[in-house]
Structure 1
Amino acid sequence: MRIALKWILRGFGALVLALLVLGIWKREELTRVLAVNSLFLPDRIVANFSHMDRAFLNTPIPTGETPASLLPPGARMMPPAGFDRFVAARNITSIVVLKDGALVFEGYYQGTTAEDLRISWSIAKSYLSALMGIILERGDIASLDDPVIDYVPLLRSGAYDGVTIRHVLNMTTGVTFDEDYLDKSSDINRMGRVLALGGKMDAFAAGLTETFTDPGTDWQYVSIDMHVLGMVIRGATGRSIIDLMGEEIIAPLGVERAPYYLTDGTGVAFVLGGLNATTRDYARFGQMFLQHGAWNGQQIVPRDWVIASTTPSAPTGADQYGYGYQWWMPRDARPREYMGRGIYGQYLYINEVQGVVIALTAVDGEFRDAEVQRQNIALFREMTDGLQGDANGER
């Protein structure tokens, strides 16, 4: 009996030792998984969205040697009535408003500051679309109607075999992908665990095999499509998205703080939502688009691409938003009015005709609610119209 107990205790001790060794060996991975699992907790979400580098692998984007030109100050905008209630109700963390390129309003809430590198979520898709326009104009890609497998052989025989680059840009791939953030077994959350554990995003995309319709038939928001677009750009150029984004967009545009991408275990950028930058720098990107891709006398993104990507072209339904190449248009869009959007209430609103850019970050748990979205757009328009009134001397 004593001998048996002795061996049991030895076995238990060996198991504990093995678990300790495993815990030390996999400490970083376990820490990231725990961080991911608590990413959206109400008491942590604000800090998490300003410090995503604590939870994920990440790489700075090269910014070049040219310092950012300061956003010139304009006449301060008076917020519309009810603005404070809006900030509280929508859990706003920051807002920057530009009128004709001048900074007319900014605010930081819930302990955030102008220095915070806030997670963009799907606004990052609009950045990647802009990069695609540059690569296409340079001839590295022949046509948007080229099959993605021409540039990414790894995707042959999977769900993306038969999909074109245009399908990916318009999110009409027909690829089955569950984006339910509340379901821990959904595709989007499985993808998050791959990222947190330092896995390979390319392999994750190649492992998708199911489709729900033929490519080009229906529009459905499929975030992994943008990872595939990143694979296409990397395959066409032989370069990383991080280097290309830095060289082609970030450096010529200028930034106040060096942004970074979340990355997988091989250093591949999480292009569909992993860009982190200051709210002012998101506004700079929006102002460059308002100016049809031009900034400080340089054409950064081709003018024709800016117009094409911000014009509805995807087959969305009558009750849905218009959609271009990773940009959204309200259902009742004003002339040249469009947005980048991300989960939990990230917005980059642009009204070219009235010369207004609004960059907004939030931790809004009701971001999917249609009425909340309508109210957000209504507020952006109220602010825009108020600025127009100021310019006309009506206040």
Structure 2
Amino acid sequence: MKHKIYQWTAALLILLVGGMGYFHTELRQLYHTVRLFEPELIIRNFSNMAQIFPSITIPRTGPVEQFKYRPQPLPSAFLYQGAEHSIQRWLSASSTTALVVLKSDSITFENYFQGTGESDARISWSMAKSFLSALFGVAVEEGAIADLNSPVTDYVPSLKGSGYDGVSIKDVLQMSSGVCFNEDYGDFNSDINRMGRLMALGGSFDEFAATLQRWRTPGTYMAYISIDTHVLGMVLRAATGQRISDYFETRLWSKLQPEGDAIYLTDSTGEPMVLGGLNLMSRDYLRFGKLYRDFGRLNGEQIIPAQWIEDSITPDAPHLVPGKRANASTHWGYGYQWWIPEHANQEFVAIGIYGQYIYINRKADVVIVKNSTDTHFMANHYESMELALAAFRAISDALTPPPS
């Protein structure tokens, strides 16, 4: 029934787009928003988001970090909950579009699926949150943000009177703001889908954040809500006095030695969607994961503060520690916009809906990037995450070290 409603809405929008030139752009964007995740369109959409929504491009500059290539086959199977699963079947069932595996400084496996290619700028969804965390760490190191225990409203007075009034920066970093926000992508009227329509029709994410109210006591319950990351972006802008895109370019992108441009989707005011609107080549996601695996250093330069990275992946309160607990919505642990799996052994993960992953395993010296268009992800996303984790661990364990 819901699918038919979307179809009827889309058909109506086609008529409106044809007859109302003044609102052509907004209606076209709304039409594509409504159809964004349809099975026959999702693969193309996820590699061409800048053709659908307003965006800003951050050009790559300087030399490109070159990877070595030392091909190794993937293991044929992995174990999950005592049962053997085929790697190839899992890749297909989870609608993989890209898989890139790095061992040490060598790519051991790289493949692109379902008609996509290596140069595609793929949507990050919530993997973008981990990039925002990196910028935040730089701002802390530079002294622009002196104390994570300061309330966000010290930097963003427009949030006074909202659910964020008096909430500490640290609680927002750790998805423990206590703000009420419905993240259900399957609910047409959820907050996250209202944000999508706002982006299509025009509006400000800043103003949207100021409408939200308190749900729980901050710092007591881990509830994953994407608007928290946007509020961090608001703090970052106020603290540095710079646009996110400029800070991203000077502090990260110009130093990472990427192959492609970075593309941020924006709201109608031109503000980047830091909670999930980043678009990169898969190998550039890999470069970011490698930077974190290597404690923030690239070619002898400390790009992201090493201590910030360690703090980001070290849950420091009972409601954030991996494992079954009453004060969290998941068994996974959480840091500063990074996921920490249960029984992690020097592992941490950036994760986006529909199956986007940057998996980092320092002990195995491995980084794995997986891009997907998995329409089944939201039905049980934590099980999807566990299944992917088991596959990533099997791939890491199967890799042989480079010759000495």
- TM-score, length-normalised on structure 2? 0.89
Q: Any residues of structure 2 matched to 1:248-327 within 5 Å, and which?
A: 248-313=251-316, 315-316=319-320, 318-319=323-324, 320-327=331-338
Does structure 1 residue 76 correspond to structure 2 residue 81? Answer: no
SS at match of 1:252: coil
Residue from 26, 29, 34 that aligns with 1:32? 29
Letter in 1 for 2:386: R
Greater shift after overlay, 242-251 or 363-372? Answer: 363-372
Does structure 1 residue 224 correspond to structure 2 residue 241? Answer: no
| Greater gyration radius | 1
Give, in whole Å, the separation in 2 of the partners of 1:250 and 1:311.
25
* Deviation of 1:356 (Å): 0.1
Give, in whole Å, the separation in 1 of the partners of 2:147 and 2:87.
45
* Deviation of 1:21 (Å): 9.5
Structure 1's 215 and 102: CA in aligned 2 closer, same or farther, altered over 3 A?
same
Per-residue displacement from partner, 1:114-134 (whole Å, max 9, x unpaired)? 000000000000000010000
Note if contact 1:57-1:198 (Cα within 8 Å) is conserved in structure 2: no
Q: Any residues of structure 2 matched to 1:176-195 within 5 Å, and which?
A: 176-195=180-199
Letter in 2 for 1:268: E
SS at match of 1:173: coil
Structure 1's 340 and 21: CA in aligned 2 closer, same or farther, altered over 3 A?
closer
Per-residue displacement from partner, 1:163-186 (whole Å, max 9, x unpaired)? 111011001100000011011100
SS at match of 2:138: helix
SS at match of 1:253: coil
Structure 1's 284 and 366: CA in aligned 2 closer, same or farther, altered over 3 A?
same
- Mark the runs of 5 or more structure 2 residues left unpaired by the alignment: 1-15, 77-85, 325-330
* Deviation of 1:22 (Å): 6.8
Q: Residue in 2 aligned with 1:3?
A: none
Q: Residue in 2 aligned with 1:158?
A: 162
Letter in 2 for 1:43: E
Where does structure 1 differ by over 3 angstroms across 4 or more consecutive aligned residues? 19-22
Note if contact 2:155-2:238 (Cα within 8 Å) is conserved in structure 1: yes
Give, in whole Å, the separation in 2 of the partners of 1:289 and 1:119.
20
Does structure 1 residue 67 correspond to structure 2 residue 78? Answer: no
* Deviation of 1:313 (Å): 3.0
Letter in 2 for 1:40: F
Q: Residue in 1 aligned with 2:141?
A: 137
Give, in whole Å, the separation in 2 of the partners of 1:90 and 1:337.
22
SS at match of 2:65: coil
Greater shift after overlay, 98-107 or 132-141? Answer: 98-107
* Deviation of 1:196 (Å): 1.3
SS at match of 2:290: helix
Greater shift after overlay, 312-321 or 370-379? Answer: 312-321
Does structure 1 residue 333 correspond to structure 2 residue 340? Answer: no
- Mark the runs of 5 or more structure 1 residues left unpaired by the alignment: 1-18
Structure 1's 355 and 59: CA in aligned 2 closer, same or farther, altered over 3 A?
same
Give, in whole Å, the separation in 2 of the partners of 1:232 and 1:39.
30
Residue from 354, 358, 367 that aligns with 1:357? 367
Structure 1's 235 and 100: CA in aligned 2 closer, same or farther, altered over 3 A?
same
* Deviation of 1:47 (Å): 0.4
Superposed CA RMSD: 1.5
Per-residue displacement from partner, 1:220-244 (whole Å, max 9, x unpaired)? 0010000000000000111111111
* Deviation of 1:69 (Å): 1.8
Residue from 392, 396, 400 that aligns with 1:384? 396
Q: Percent identity?
A: 45
Structure 1's 20 and 100: CA in aligned 2 closer, same or farther, altered over 3 A?
closer
* Deviation of 1:20 (Å): 8.2
* Deviation of 1:83 (Å): 2.4
Structure 1's 105 and 392: CA in aligned 2 closer, same or farther, altered over 3 A?
closer
Per-residue displacement from partner, 1:27-75 (whole Å, max 9, x unpaired)? 0000000000000000000100000012110000243x313122122x2
Note if contact 2:100-2:286 (Cα within 8 Å) is conserved in structure 1: yes
Q: Residue in 2 aligned with 1:11?
A: none
Letter in 2 for 1:272: L
* Deviation of 1:88 (Å): 0.9
Structure 1's 22 and 150: CA in aligned 2 closer, same or farther, altered over 3 A?
farther
* Deviation of 1:254 (Å): 1.5
SS at match of 1:325: coil
Q: Any residues of structure 2 matched to 1:10-21 within 5 Å, and which?
A: none
* Deviation of 1:102 (Å): 1.4
Greater shift after overlay, 178-187 or 317-326? Answer: 317-326
